[in-house]
Structure 1
């Protein structure tokens, strides 16, 4: 199916999830650009080809700085469609709160979506309680080399990626992912230094809550179960819910069903 024939053209800014980078959006970026839209995939600090090491990224705001800077640099009057995947939902929520006037819509593709008036880390806490301690299989916590940063870096394990993250994706994309993932800190540890993720007053109804927000459910996601996806949308009843057709899409929907996702993003943007 051809996408993007409608006007106007849109600027999509895409944000990856834990351990990943801008590279994971390569199929969707290609589809959006082919359709005549602008598409910018970003590396959060210490991810993808970003030059920082994980032990140089001191907090969640610093981790999200590439997205915050990209929005700050938009020309006056330009508004972007932010697209979050997985852990990238927290960065997008922070960006919407800081720059609501520069956001046409925030789309959460099977992503962590915090609710207004609650600390962002509360969503992470609830997910861990929902899936249980064995959910992440062979994923590992690594040693923290910077004593000024509380919490340990984390990296997905090969079995977890194959069985719960890329289970319906082409095998070459799993190979790509295993080659390119980097350790990252979730910044959800309950400590006094991480003020952004634990701030119950950060996400306000006036700014984050007033933005056009859309959640895209993925029924067959084994990493972020659809039951938890629905729990997040129930906590934010003002959020529009869209879904990808059952069958064929895994947690990495941008790799397993890229054309369908690109079409959906264009349709969402066209309805703003």
Structure 2
């Protein structure tokens, strides 16, 4: 069975994996989730967060090789970490996540999508170094197919998302190229358009791409299904 490290996306924290961790554990895996800097219980001010500090946090959590599952924005720092220390990555699974493109920051990569459903919900901080999600719009964008109790749980815990990590590109080379990778597309995603998830993985081997019929938060909408799919990926 696998050692699995779970990486959250923008404005979230380790808390978003609460329903997945025990299910993956029941399947025999050893599972951990971390708070990236300024998220969850991490006290770092958002104004001090960088993409490098995100990648460092991931590497600091990898005291032995593991399967890393990265959600949404987490795809960028996870990719950077894999480039820096490929031997610590047994596999990198992108969960409806942004896959870096040469020379493009995450913000620039996002703008390649044919639609921008997240932008209406973005509320910038006064210093322009972070943003939060409008609580009136976040449920329909992040959690449209999640149970009401779960939506309330999540809205209470959303944090400010630093802008610096999304403003710089990730450069990859031979190190990243040798890391086994898989992608899980969420085909009802209200944050990252499903058609853009298809575009980002259009040249991937067919057996490395999987689909779930859910929105942007499968860890809440279908934690059992997500856990089973991760387990299946790791057995093949």
8 Å CA contact 1:93–1:114 kept in 2: the answer is yes
Deviation at 1:119, TM superposition (A): 3.0
Deviation at 1:135, TM superposition (A): 4.0
Q: TM-score, normalised by structure 2?
A: 0.92
In structure 1, list runs of 5 or more residues that go unmatched: 1-8, 145-150, 191-196
Cα deviation code 1:153-172 (max 9, x no counterpart): 01111233111110000111
SS at 1:69 equivalent: helix
Deviation at 1:209, TM superposition (A): 1.5
Cα deviation code 1:186-226 (max 9, x no counterpart): 32565xxxxxx335xx211x111221110101111111111
2:71 counterpart residue number: 85
RMSD: 1.9
Distance 1:209 1:238, change over 3 A: farther
Correspondences of 1:14-163 after superposition (within 5 Å): 14-57=6-49, 59-71=50-62, 73-74=63-64, 79-115=65-101, 118-121=102-105, 123-130=106-113, 135-144=118-127, 152-163=129-140
2:218 corresponds, among 253, 259, 266, to 253
1:229 counterpart residue number: 197
Cα deviation code 1:213-246 (max 9, x no counterpart): 1010111111111111011102x535721112x3
Task: Compare CA radii of gyration and give the structure with the larger one.
Answer: 1
Distance 1:51 1:124, change over 3 A: same
SS at 2:90 equivalent: strand
8 Å CA contact 1:18–1:186 kept in 2: the answer is no
In the alignment of these two chains, the number of paired residues is 235
Higher strand content, 1 or 2: 2
8 Å CA contact 1:29–1:39 kept in 2: the answer is yes
Cα deviation code 1:134-158 (max 9, x no counterpart): 64323201022xxxxxx52011112
Of residues 47-56 and 14-23 in structure 1, the stretch that sits farther from structure 2 once superposed is 47-56
Q: Which whole-Å CA distance do the structure 2 matches of 1:216 and 1:252 have between them?
A: 12
The 4+ residue runs of structure 1 with deviation greater than 6 A are: none
Of residues 37-46 and 95-104 in structure 1, the stretch that sits farther from structure 2 once superposed is 95-104
